[in-house]
Structure 1
Amino acid sequence: MLLTVDFSSEEPIYMQIRNGIVAGIAMGKLQDGDPLPSVRTLGGELGVNLHTVNKAYRLLRNEGFIRLLPSRGAEVQAGEAAKNAALFLDAAGNSLRNLISEAVTRHVDRSAIHAMIDTLYDELEGQKT
């Protein structure tokens, strides 16, 4: 799995893992039913504690991106995640509000934010295989 963590980032490692897997799903690199590395394997590959990976996997499960299967590990559940768009928009509202608040404070033009979002969205959609 092509996933990296930045140990110098202020973002918690478990969130970096979570966000990396979600990005993999968004780009089409991870499909429904694809197996994910075991907690132990991914922890070893990334050089992080097993509990950190476990926390990321639990969060992904709770958000509907993966399912945890007894004795079989974790697998992508991308189709279920897509059904939860309304929940995502509701949950993302606070993060987006903070980002927009800072943009307004810094006098960043609305069209620049729209262009950035469009570019990032197109970039992620374009990377689907």
Structure 2
Amino acid sequence: MFIELDLQSETPLYEQLINQMIEGIASGALQPGDRLPSVRNLAENLGINLHTVNKSYTLLKQDGFLQVHPKKGVIVHPDTMPGITAEFEAKLFRQLRSLAAEAAVRGMTEEAFVNQCRKLYGDTMIKREGEGQ
């Protein structure tokens, strides 16, 4: 699996795991219907507590990215990904506001900040489109 956690990061491990799984879905590395390792197996492979993996899986399930089946285990949602909700937009606004403020304080121009956002979004879409070829 493509997960790499930074044990020295200030970002909690469960958030790192969530972010990397969502990035995997966005990039096409994780496809709808893909089976994920069990909580125990992923925790062992990453060398982290199984409660950390369980928390990540639970939050991803609540947000509609994963499904849990008694026989299949944990899978990437096979039908639809979650849509844009008011809660998502509020979360996006909070996170971008914080990053924009830091970028401004550090002297980054608005144009440079927007270009970074475009590049990241564009890179994700290129990977997704390239998967279908």
Instruction: Please give the TM-score of this superposition, normalised by the length of structure 1.
Output: 0.90
The residue that corresponds to 2:73 in the other structure is 73
Report the number of matched residues.
Answer: 129
SS, match of residue 40 in structure 2: helix
- 2:82 and 2:115 map into 1 onto residues whose CA distance is 24
Identity %: 39
Query: What TM-score does the superposition give when structure 2 sets the normalisation length?
Result: 0.88
**Which structure 1 segments of 5+ residues have no match?**
none
Larger displacement relative to structure 2 (21-30 or 116-125): 116-125
In structure 2, distance between residues paired with 1:107 and 1:100: 11
Q: What's the CA shift string for 1:38-60, capped at 9, x where partnerless?
A: 00110011001100000000111
User: Structure 2 stretches of 5 or more lacking a match?
Assistant: none
Counterpart residue type for residue 3 of structure 2 = L
- Corresponding letter in the other structure for 2:34: D
C-alpha contact (below 8 Å) 2:63/2:82 kept by paired residues: no
Larger RCO (CA under 8 A, 6+ residues apart):
1
Q: Distance in 2 between matches of 1:79 and 1:68?
A: 13
Q: Secondary structure at the match of 1:67?
A: strand
Q: CA RMSD in A?
A: 1.7
